[in-house]
Structure 1
Amino acid sequence: MNSASPPISSVGSACLANAQLILRDRVMRGSVTIADGLISEVSEGDNVPIGAIDCAGDYVLPGLVELHTDNLERHIEPRPKVDWPHLPALIAHDAELASTGITTVFDAMRVGSILNAKAGYAPYARNLATELLNARAAGHFRISHFLHLRAEICSETLLDEMAAFGPADRIGIVSLMDHTPGQRQFRDLVKLKAYIAKKRGMTDADFEAHVANLKRLQSTYAAAHEAGAVREAARFGAVLASHDDTTAAQVHVSHKNGVRFAEFPTTQAAAKACRDKGVAIMMGAPNIIRGASHSGNVSAGDLVDADLLDIVSSDYVPSALLLSAFHLAERWDDLPRAISCVTDNPAQAVKLSDRGRIEVGLRGDILRVKTVDTVPLIRGVWSHGVRVG
């Protein structure tokens, strides 16, 4: 993926001094200077130059890099079947992420629909992506936005919807999703029913029909859709991700497809297979904080203890990303390593070489964070040197 930054409205300059800088391999008392949007100097010491912000010992760390979030979809549909105007939703989504320390986001949009009046869902990604790209070009956003297409293998329209996108859309990620009941994320049909029946108001008969339809779609389309989505990702120049791998065999297929990172493997065996194949492992921040998966899958804590975690995503709670990193820091007794899981590691996974670390020449995406009883409180957010939170 092209690592050049999306269009933004401005770049800025700032100096944060007398801070605990969280670097790639250590924490250092010092200062970081941003000039014209880029880090121009990193210095050791507690001196505070004239005009600098005295951080008084607060942490200063890179802006968070978010690869998978459902947050935009929550803003455009705040309740089931409630369609919210897209531009206000985009602006509110952007502002919320900035407030949580996320300075780079890959906005997840589903491609692949089910044309069923009772339990289906319609295409929306192309129109929403166009609105997002226009807002980005106009400089309406505080932070850096890229596109993430969630390719639903178990659908009817996947390849037609993906055909509407191209390299000019600068899609960063294509993730391969298969939400067929009885496997991967939804192996437990009881948990699936509790989740989806409540969300969509299904009766028992509706749910049974929905499950049967999804299984039919998988048997009809899965092979062609998976192969087609892999081809389309290559056409876009996007990084490929897998989703909810459960077995070593599934990881083998993902690796063969060219997957660079695995989103939320559901078992320790799958995570171990990812490690063996050199596929980066992503888990959800809510899983880390809660100590369990809401779908009944492997606990992120078990993967943390087994050294099977590389990247953390906020998933469905944006504010969880920073909090989860400090949870990891306590668990590992290694703050730089934990912070890398939400900054440098995700940036590397999507081939963004211009951010994710406090180093001269990289983007001035910076957070100032104070901790209270180990809870991180954001005291400032800078995106390309401009204070946005």
Structure 2
Amino acid sequence: MNQQIVTNAKIVTPSGLVEGSVIVEEGKIADIKKDSYYPGEYDAHGHWLIPGVIDIHTDYIEKELHPRPSAGFPIELAFHMMDLRALASGLTTVLGAVRISNDPWKKGGELRARSGLALADEYERMARISSVRHFMHIRWDTNFEPASVIVDQLADYSTLGNIVYNENIPGQRQFRSLEEIAVKQAASKGLTVEEAMRQLKERIEANSAINNRVEVRDKFSGKVCIGSHDDTTVDHVDEAKEAGATLAEMPTTMEAARRAKDLGMYVCMGAPNYYRGGSHCGNLSCIDALSEDLVDSLCSDYHFPSMLGSVVKMIDQGMDPSRAVNLITLGPAKVLGWEERLGSIEVGKVADLTLFEPMKTYGRVEEVWVDGVSKISMKSPDPALV
């Protein structure tokens, strides 16, 4: 029998803390022993043992593929480095962004959908040889057609994790001032503000005439988590719910977050938003949403270390450790419908585990196990030797 024991750990369960040991057999949690110590086994030296962190939305792959707008690197290298970065941040399940769009006003134009599918192909290939569980977070443009063929293709991917509506009608959601958008586009494209405004109005008219949400709902509802990104108004949330969404991803206003919870939807906010004390775009503060108990899950968005860093900060500021840890483990697992297997340290669940030491501003990861197998080790020296 393949057995491992992590002993002398501060174990965070869904409902409380246990100081003791976790016994792993054949890749699953076999037992949790309170106040126990096993000499010769993996000694955690009293540090925190939590479930492997689950990230349901990250754009991180873009940083490795294009660290500068004009500097591209091979997907194999980018994926490998993303994999290592995730492990070093305590993540064991990662849903990376794949953009699906045919928006002719955006860079790449009608090639965006095909390039997105090309990246999806790479996810299928690279996920098989990576250390972390990698899945796709589909960022789905709701305003292009035809969509049916692409929907059918996405259904064939084994690494499809979730699909999230990303509406791209100017003046809606996150960026609502057409005047500000026109000024920025005029500067970037060498146009007059009047010309940029005319193009924006043409785009609004064209995009508003298309809504492919129904095709996504009909294909994936009840099979894959469907979400909606940057909902700003109650109407946005109602439309998402009608289109099969069970997740409100980073609502930009308190009214949208409240409406999502009223409708029984999950709410996910960005960990960097909490860690930095607010949204970098001036949207809804994660701290404010948490104060009304509106947040079910955090995601890394664009910064892996903020996941553990936020937990360290929450606990330091008095939040119950189980509540804090659940936001990056069990909460995301529930959003995806994977809570029977992942997301908590409970007997019978998969042994995805993260051991870390809380530091002043971050969580120092020491060991990460996936399926009970150690994937990265940065163990601190034995305190008795220091």
**TM-score band, normalised by shorter chain:** 0.7 to 0.9
* Per-residue Cα deviation, 1:147-202 (whole angstroms, up to 9, x for no partner): 2211111345644433332245352211111132211122245776798889xx44
Give the superposition deviation at 1:332. Answer: 5.3
Alignment length (residue pairs): 371
* Per-residue Cα deviation, 1:291-314 (whole angstroms, up to 9, x for no partner): 221222111111111111110010
The separation in 2 between residues aligned to 1:318 and 1:51, in whole angstroms, is: 33
Pick closer, same or farther for the CA change 1:256–1:50 going to 2, 3 Å: same
Give the superposition deviation at 1:39. Answer: 1.2
Give the superposition deviation at 1:208. Answer: 4.2
2:16 alignment partner in structure 1:
26
The residue type equivalent to 1:57 in the other structure is G
Q: In the alignment, which of 63, 83, 91 is matched to residue 74 of structure 1?
A: 63
Give the superposition deviation at 1:117. Answer: 7.8
Q: In the alignment, which of 346, 361, 371 is matched to residue 384 of structure 1?
A: 371
Q: In the alignment, which of 224, 248, 251 is matched to residue 262 of structure 1?
A: 248
Correspondence list, 1:296-315, <5 A: 296-315=282-301
Secondary structure of the structure 2 residue equivalent to 1:92: helix
Task: Determine if the alignment matches structure 1 residue 316 to structure 2 residue 302.
Answer: yes
Pick closer, same or farther for the CA change 1:204–1:301 going to 2, 3 Å: farther
Which is worse superposed, 292-301 or 330-339? Answer: 330-339
The residue type equivalent to 1:379 in the other structure is E
Of structures 1 and 2, the larger Rg is shown by: 2
* Per-residue Cα deviation, 1:257-289 (whole angstroms, up to 9, x for no partner): 221211001111111111111111110011111
The separation in 2 between residues aligned to 1:196 and 1:335, in whole angstroms, is: 45
The separation in 1 between residues aligned to 2:95 and 2:227, in whole angstroms, is: 13
The separation in 2 between residues aligned to 1:295 and 1:216, in whole angstroms, is: 26
Pick closer, same or farther for the CA change 1:183–1:13 going to 2, 3 Å: farther
Contact 1:329/1:337 (<8 A) preserved: no
1:37 alignment partner in structure 2:
27
Quote the sequence identity (%): 28
The separation in 2 between residues aligned to 1:84 and 1:180, in whole angstroms, is: 31
Pick closer, same or farther for the CA change 1:238–1:209 going to 2, 3 Å: farther
Correspondence list, 1:345-360, <5 A: 345-352=331-338, 353-360=340-347
* Per-residue Cα deviation, 1:43-100 (whole angstroms, up to 9, x for no partner): 11142x2431111110100010010100123322332244321122111111111111
The separation in 2 between residues aligned to 1:338 and 1:220, in whole angstroms, is: 43
Which is worse superposed, 340-349 or 164-173? Answer: 164-173
The separation in 1 between residues aligned to 2:322 and 2:157, in whole angstroms, is: 36
2:140 alignment partner in structure 1:
151
2:118 alignment partner in structure 1:
127
The residue type equivalent to 2:93 in the other structure is T
The separation in 2 between residues aligned to 1:336 and 1:195, in whole angstroms, is: 44
* Per-residue Cα deviation, 1:193-226 (whole angstroms, up to 9, x for no partner): 798889xx444548546634541332221x2x12
The residue type equivalent to 2:362 in the other structure is V
Pick closer, same or farther for the CA change 1:339–1:117 going to 2, 3 Å: closer
2:382 alignment partner in structure 1:
none
Secondary structure of the structure 2 residue equivalent to 1:378: strand
The separation in 2 between residues aligned to 1:305 and 1:117, in whole angstroms, is: 37
1:95 alignment partner in structure 2:
84
Unaligned runs of 5+ in 2: 377-386
Secondary structure of the structure 2 residue equivalent to 1:169: coil
**What TM-score comes out, normalization by structure 2 length?**
0.88
Contact 1:68/1:314 (<8 A) preserved: yes
The residue type equivalent to 1:280 in the other structure is Y
* Per-residue Cα deviation, 1:5-44 (whole angstroms, up to 9, x for no partner): xxxxxxx753211111011111111111222211122111
1:292 alignment partner in structure 2:
278
The separation in 1 between residues aligned to 2:348 and 2:16, in whole angstroms, is: 19
Correspondence list, 1:1-389, <5 A: 14-47=4-37, 49-116=38-105, 120=109, 122-123=112-113, 124-137=115-128, 140-155=129-144, 158-188=147-177, 201-203=188-190, 205=192, 208=197, 211-221=200-210, 223=211, 225-234=212-221, 237-331=223-317, 333-352=319-338, 353-373=340-360, 375-389=362-376
The residue type equivalent to 1:383 in the other structure is V
Q: Which has the higher contact order (CA 8 A, sep 6+)?
A: 1
Give the superposition deviation at 1:245. Answer: 1.2
Pick closer, same or farther for the CA change 1:59–1:156 going to 2, 3 Å: same
Contact 2:213/2:243 (<8 A) preserved: no
Contact 2:127/2:135 (<8 A) preserved: no
The separation in 2 between residues aligned to 1:348 and 1:257, in whole angstroms, is: 20
Secondary structure of the structure 2 residue equivalent to 1:185: coil
